[in-house]
Amino acid sequence: MQAYERLVSWLDQTIPLHNADDQTTEWMASARTPETRARIRRWSRAESIGLAVALIGLILLLAAPVATVVLLVWFGVAGIERTDVYWWLWGIAVGVPLVGGIVMAVGSRQRLVACFADAYVSTGRVDRVIEEPGDDDHAWYQLRVSSELPNGVVLHRTVYRDGNDPRRRTGGPVRFRHNTLDPDDLHDVLFDGWPDDARTGRR
């Protein structure tokens, strides 16, 4: 147990929390349980590791063509037949950034989920859907949602979604999580599903 605690302490000092979201530190400080804070810290660290691995992999990928030419010349002069070396070289050059990117993406998503683990859950209405074109015809959608609290305060939030066109959801219910009761903290939000789908059994 002591060895594990020393390892965690060392990681805290050597691997800083990745703060891609400026609100992460604030939400971690306001988390209601130590378990939630630990989850945020763990996934934030995973995101940092993924980013570091992806950057190292990018350097390897850029260096791979030069290394290939050097090996071709060397093997040609020395009369060496080792085609497997090229497979290993390019496998590592492509695999390392790919693994880093996957770890970073998973860490980012799970960090966000952990940040809202202790959040309020509200059901609101989709007031407006704005399409934001992306690369390769991959569109993102900005959903302007609102929810009236029992005390009369109306929350306004912006939810970003990709995939199927959600414009048919305009005027319909949406469930989301939020850490504050600030009515105009637009980005204090995590999409939590469509209540209509839960009632009709759609997925």
Question: Could you tell me if 73 and 166 lie in one domain?
Answer: no
- pLDDT above 90 covers what percent of the chain? 41
The residue among 115, 139, 168 that closes a domain is 115
Residues 74 and 10 in one domain: yes
Please indicate, yes or no, whether residues 24 and 93 belong to a single structural domain of this protein: yes
- Per DSSP, what are the bridge partners of residue 177? 121, 190
Residues 27 and 86 in one domain: yes
Indicate if 68 and 168 belong to the same structural domain: no
**Which of 115, 148, 163 is the last residue before a domain boundary?**
115
| Domain shared by 104 and 130, yes or no | no
User: Domain range holding 40?
Assistant: 2-115
Tell me which DSSP letter residue 203 carries. -
Instruction: Render pLDDT for 64-99 as a digit per residue (tens, 0 to 9).
Output: 999 999 999 998 888 888 888 889 999 999 999 999
CA atoms within a 13 Å half-sphere pointing along the CA-CB vector of 175: 11
- Number of structural domains, the chain? 2
Q: Are residues 141 and 105 in the same domain?
A: no
- 109 and 15 share one domain: yes
Q: Which distant-in-sequence residues (6+ apart) come within 8 Å of 71 by Cβ?
A: 85, 86, 89
When pLDDT is cut at 50, 70 and 90, the band that residue 8 belongs to is very low
The whole-model pTM stands at 0.72
The answer to whether the beta carbons of residues 38 and 187 sit under 8 Å apart is no
Q: Where are the alpha helices (DSSP H) in 79-139?
A: 83-115
Residue where a domain stops, chosen among 95, 115, 135: 115
| Whether residues 86 and 174 fall in one domain | no
pLDDT digits (tens, 9 = 90+) for 48-71: 899 999 999 999 999 999 999 999
Same domain, 132 and 175: yes
Quick one: 90 and 175 in the same domain?
no
CATH assignment of the domain containing 136? 2.40.50
Residue 172: DSSP 8-state: S
